[in-house]
Structure 1
Amino acid sequence: MQAAARATPWFFPLVVVLLATLTLPRAVQASSDVYLLYRQWQSYNWPEEVASAAEVSRSQRGLGWLHQSATGTFGVAYDYQPLRIRTGEPAHNGHLHRLTFGGDWHYRLYRVEARVGVTGTSNMFKHQSFHSEVVNGRVAIFRAVREDSPLSLGVGGDHRFGSFRWLPRVRWQHADEGGHWLIDLPVMLRWQSPGERWEFRLERKGDRWATLDKAREVESALYLREWRTELTYRIGSGEGLWPAVILGIGASVDTRVRYQDLETGTLDLRLDDTLLGSIRLSW
C-alpha cells in the first residue's frame, strides 16, 4: 500500500483524542449491535443551467458493529455509495467507499465524540494508489454546564458543511414520558418514542472522499453534503437469530456536491431536493 503523501493537519489531534477516550472507565453492563443497511434516493435533477445532463442516481449499502455501555459507544462502520454523475468529465468514478471506527464517551462533565477512517473511490483501493485526502475523521468535545444540567457546550470539527471546519456546538437532551429529545446545534435534532420504536431525525450530513480520475493522474476530493430528515419505525426487538427491522422514509434537502471536473475545474453544485427510503436489519 502506498502511504499518504502527508498527514492532514487535524488528523493527529483526532487520533490522540480517540486513543485517550478508549482509556476511560468502562461499565460492566454492555450490549452489542450488528446491522445491515440499504438506503435509496429518488434520482436528483441536475441544475437547470447544465444543459442535456442526465439525472444523478444515488444509493447506499452499509454494515457495521456497535458496542454500547453506560459510558458510551464504540463501533466500526463501512458503507458504499454509488453517486452516478453522467455529465462533463468528473475526475472520479462515482463509487464512494468509507470505512470508519470510533464512537462517543462521557466522563463526569465531559463528553467526547470521535471518528477516524479512510474514505475514497473504488479505483484507489483497487490499484492501491492513495493520497493524503483518503484519511478522514470528525471530533467534538462537550462540557456540561453543571453536573445535573441537560445542557452542554462544546466545539466540533468535521466536513458536514464542506471543507473541514470547527464550529461551536450546543447540546441539550431531555427524557420524559413523551420520549427522548436530543438537540445538538447546529447539526442535529432527534426524537425517540418510549421504547425507541419510532424515531425522527433532522441532521446535517456531510463528508469528503478522496478521488482519482480514470487515468489515475489527477488527485482530488469529492464533498457531498445535505440536510437529511428521516422518520423510522422499528419492527421487532432483534433478539436471537431474528433481526429487528427498521423502516425509514425521509428527504434530502439542500444537497450539494463539490468535485473536480477535468474540463471545467472545480464544480460546486446544488442538486434538487428528493425523497429517500431505507431499511435496516439489526441483531
Structure 2
Amino acid sequence: MATIAKKAGLILVASVLALACFGCSSGGEEKSAEPAVEPKTEVEQEPEKEEAAEKADPDAEALAAGKTVKYIDQYYTNLKDAVDKANQNGGGTVVLLADTVDTENGESPTIGFRTSITIKSGDGGPFKVYRADGQANEMLRITDGTITVKDVVFDGSGEGVTSPIVMISDLARVTFGSGLVLTGNASDGSGYAENFGASAVSISGPDAYVTIESGCMISDCTGSGLAKAALYNDGANVANSGGSFSGNTSETDTPNYAGTGTYEGDPIA
C-alpha cells in the first residue's frame, strides 16, 4: 500500500509540473503573437525651387492678357494710359514689357505737371512704341516736369503724319538717354504752327531744356512743308553729349537741326 501511495504522489507532482510548464509555454506564445508596429516614415518636403516655380509671374500674366506697359504694379495696353497714371501720381518709372501702341484713343501721351518720370524698356528690350492706325499727331508731348526716355524705339511710321514724334515746350526738362531711337517719322508739319517745324523733335520756349546723351539716335525722319529738320529749336536750350543723327531728310539744307535758341555740345552735322 505504501508503494502504491508513493507512486500516486509522484504522478501528482509530475502532473502539476507539466501543467505549470504548459502555462509558461502558452503565455510566451501569446506574447509573441502580438503584431509588430511598423516605423513611421517622414513626409519629404518639396524643394524650394519647385515652390518658387509655382508662384505666379505677374508680368507674364499681363503679357498673356495683352497688356504691354507697366507702371508700379499696374498694367496697361498702351503707353498713354501708363504715362497718364504716372503723371497723376507725381512720377515714377513706366516700363515697356513688349512692343506697344502709343495710344488707343488718338490722344497723345502728355506729361504736363511738375513731376519726374522715366520711360524705358524692361528685360528683353529695347521695345518699340508705334503709331495706332490713323494717328497723325505727336507720339509724346511734354510741357513740364523732369523726363528721361531711354532704351525705347519710337517708330513714327504712319499715313498722313502731320507732327513730329516728340513735342517739348514750356517748363520741360527732358533727357534723351542711351538706347533711345526716334525713327521713321515723315511729317509735313501742318498740324502745328511753323515754329514746331520738325520731323522728329520740336522744342519751343526759353524755359525748355533738352539733353541728348551718347547712345541716342535720331534717324530716317523726313520733313516736308513746315517740317524743316529732324530737330527744330524755337528759342529753347539744347545740349548734345554725343547723340547721333543719320538718314534724315528735309526740303531745306539743314535736315538734322534747325532753328534758334541755345545749343551746346557736339556739332550736329
Q: TM-score, normalised by structure 2?
A: 0.21
More strand, by proportion? 1
Higher relative CO (CA 8 A, sep ≥ 6), structure 1 or 2? Answer: 1
* Bigger Rg, structure 1 or 2: 2
